[in-house]
């Protein structure tokens, strides 16, 4: 790889593209990963992250996490902090189309032995109660005015409707509600697309998974105990989804608007049209920020409704209340966002707009943004793997300040969906996984082939890289036993 020869190795897990790599770079670009990850990384990632390094107002570095791979504008796994008081921009390509795509983790008091006889029934019922796939509609119907309330109130709206517990909000990033969302800044087309999608998974790499903790996969027993994840062969539930078509339309609307004004009105030039942007404090930038927050809140609400359905299904199948089953949330984390945050830069505190595209916020202990419940230990971080491999709960660390407290969000793809379909057959893969004790329900066998474990990076290698770099620390690894997919 030509680019590999131009990378400067800073540490065991930090690799840098210097300012000389590409004309117009305002800051160096740093890529995190073990040598194995770096050597296997797609050449387009280096091109995209160096383009990000050219954006106005970018601070310190453009970052790419170990799960980085080709995306729209930013690579997936890209992080950029913009100084909003010194010409910093906001870019939809740095957030993603599935705004606030994120992970939610729920623990139970159940053991694998208790769940195994009911596993297929649980998965089948979940598949029925939580619609998946492209264009899927949820079972919860809301009016347009109610949907606008969801855009402003997020998961809190759901809890007020009896679709969750008050404690769920404390265990959700931003309390399940980010302020400043303005439904007047979203299009009717966006509302049309999102109106019926509350409580749905969507397609692609979105999933809901029943998982088990084996004793050998507890890496920090004290923290596992703190989270209540120390029972023998304990069962947990994890799911991954976002704002669906609503977020996609919000991003599409503002990308088109930014392209019209970026150069003509603000004189901004970017190396890739997919990085269309506007000054954060411009009318267009502020309108997008308010609209994007609507999608953030809708996504928190979407995951809250799904959690409610999960509790209903487990309660019905196992004949016990969700409270008796111990179905408490661990946390809900987002990984397609842009947020204003205070950070130390060269010894001075500055307000930065941190874009995290396929990257997870990972605050260390003591940050006031964290709920009191977790402030002493740091932010829980949920990194999802493929349906074959497993997933992780990690914790943010003080050393995470080097990336504005950002870490990986998942395994990261190694091949296109088309290539995966050529290499694997969905039906054969389903049979193989069931033989291994993993029962899967999917809308299409084609989708199963696209999500084969071999199409993704090694989740263990990704987590090792984040650990070695000091970005996040592994606590527990989860093994899949049941999965529903779009």
Annotation-wise, does 416 bind a ligand?
no
Q: Is the separation of the CB atoms in 225 and 478 below 8 Å?
A: no
Q: Identify the three-state secondary structure at position 324.
A: coil
Q: Is the separation of the CB atoms in 330 and 106 below 8 Å?
A: yes
Gap between the terminal Cα atoms of the chain: 35
Q: Which of 69, 308, 355, 409 is catalytic?
A: 409
Write down the H helix ranges in 235-376: 244-261, 283-318, 372-375
Annotation-wise, does 274 bind a ligand?
no
Measured CA to CA, the distance from residue 457 to residue 411 in angstroms comes to 5
Residue 409 catalytic? yes
Annotation-wise, does 209 bind a ligand?
yes
In DSSP terms, 111 is beta-bridged to 234
Annotation-wise, does 206 bind a ligand?
yes
Q: Exposed (0-12), middle (13-18) or buried (19+): which is 344, by Cβ within 10 Å?
A: exposed
List b or e across 218-238, with b for residues whose CB sees 16 or more CB atoms inside 10 angstroms.
bbbeebbebbebbeebbbbbb
Write down the H helix ranges in 10-96: 35-40, 43-52
Annotation-wise, does 98 bind a ligand?
yes
Annotation-wise, does 391 bind a ligand?
yes
Measured CA to CA, the distance from residue 457 to residue 107 in angstroms comes to 26
Annotation-wise, does 1 bind a ligand?
no
Annotation-wise, does 409 bind a ligand?
yes
Annotation-wise, does 366 bind a ligand?
no
Tokens at 67, concatenated: 């799960």
Annotation-wise, does 451 bind a ligand?
no
Annotation-wise, does 412 bind a ligand?
yes
Annotation-wise, does 355 bind a ligand?
no
Annotation-wise, does 299 bind a ligand?
no
Element (H, E) at 153: helix 144-153
Measured CA to CA, the distance from residue 388 to residue 439 in angstroms comes to 10
Element (H, E) at 468: helix 459-469
| DSSP for 400-457, written as a single string | GGGGTSEE--B--BSS-HHHHHHH--HHHHHHHHHHTT-EEEES-HHHHHHT-GGGB-
Annotation-wise, does 411 bind a ligand?
yes
Q: Which residue has the tokens 């993603």?
A: 96
Annotation-wise, does 328 bind a ligand?
no
Backbone φ, ψ for residue 127 (5° rounding): -60, -35
Contacts of 244 (CB under 8 A, 6+ apart): 98, 193, 194, 197, 200, 202, 302
Q: Which residues are annotated as a binding site?
A: 98, 205-209, 240, 335-336, 384-387, 391, 409-412, 485
Q: Which residues are annotated as a binding site for GMP?
A: 205-209, 335-336, 384-387, 391, 409-412, 485
Q: Which residues are annotated as a binding site for Mn(2+)?
A: 98, 206, 240, 335
Catalytic residues: 409
């Amino acid at each position: 790889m030509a680019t590999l020869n131009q990378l400067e190795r800073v540490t065991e897990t930090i690799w840098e593209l210097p300012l000389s790599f590409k004309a117009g770079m305002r800051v160096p670009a740093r890529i995190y990963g073990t040598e194995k990850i770096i050597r296997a990384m797609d050449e387009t990632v280096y091109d995209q992250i160096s383009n990000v390094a050219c954006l106005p107002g970018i601070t310190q570095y453009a970052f790419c996490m170990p799960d980085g791979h080709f995306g729209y504008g930013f690579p997936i796994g890209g992080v950029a902090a913009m100084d909003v008081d010194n010409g910093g921009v906001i870019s939809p390509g740095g957030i993603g189309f599935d705004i606030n795509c994120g992970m939610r983790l729920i623990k139970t008091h159940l053991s694998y032995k208790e769940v195994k006889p009911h596993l297929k029934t649980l998965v089948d019922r979940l598949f029925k109660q939580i619609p998946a796939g492209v264009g899927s509609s949820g079972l919860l119907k809301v009016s347009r005015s109610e949907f606008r309330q969801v855009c402003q109130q997020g998961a809190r709206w759901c809890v007020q409707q009896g679709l969750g517990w008050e404690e769920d909000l404390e265990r959700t990033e931003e309390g399940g509600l980010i302020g400043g969302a303005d439904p007047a800044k979203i299009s009717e087309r966006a509302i049309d697309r999102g109106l019926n999608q509350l409580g749905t998974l969507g397609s692609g790499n979105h999933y809901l998974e029943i998982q088990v903790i084996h004793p050998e996969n507890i890496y920090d027993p004290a923290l596992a105990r703190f989270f209540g994840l120390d029972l023998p062969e304990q069962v947990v539930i994890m799911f991954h989804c976002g704002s669906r078509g609503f977020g996609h339309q919000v991003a599409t609307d503002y990308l088109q608007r930014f392209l019209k004004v970026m150069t003509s009105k603000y004189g901004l030039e970017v190396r890739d049209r997919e990085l269309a942007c506007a000054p954060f404090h411009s009318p267009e930038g502020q309108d997008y920020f308010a609209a994007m927050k609507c999608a953030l809140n809708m996504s928190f609400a979407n995951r809250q409704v799904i959690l409610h359905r999960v509790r209903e299904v487990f309660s019905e199948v196992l004949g016990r209340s969700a409270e008796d089953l111990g179905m408490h949330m661990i946390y809900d984390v987002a990984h397609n966002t842009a947020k204003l945050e205070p950070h130390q830069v060269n010894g001075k505190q500055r307000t930065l707009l941190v874009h995290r595209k396929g990257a997870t916020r990972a605050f260390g202990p003591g940050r006031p943004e964290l709920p009191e419940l977790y402030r002493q230990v740091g932010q829980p971080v949920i990194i999802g793997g493929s349906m074959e491999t497993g997933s992780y709960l990690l914790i943010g660390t003080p050393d995470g300040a080097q990336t504005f407290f950002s870490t990986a969000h998942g395994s990261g793809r190694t091949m296109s969906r088309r290539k995966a379909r050529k290499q694997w057959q969905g039906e054969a893969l389903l049979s193989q996984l069931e033989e291994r004790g993993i029962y899967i329900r999917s809308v299409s066998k084609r989708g199963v082939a696209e999500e084969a474990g071999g199409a993704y990076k090694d989740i263990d290698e990704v987590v090792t890289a984040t650990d070695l770099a000091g970005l996040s620390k592994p606590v527990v690894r989860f093994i899949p036993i049941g999965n529903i997919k779009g």
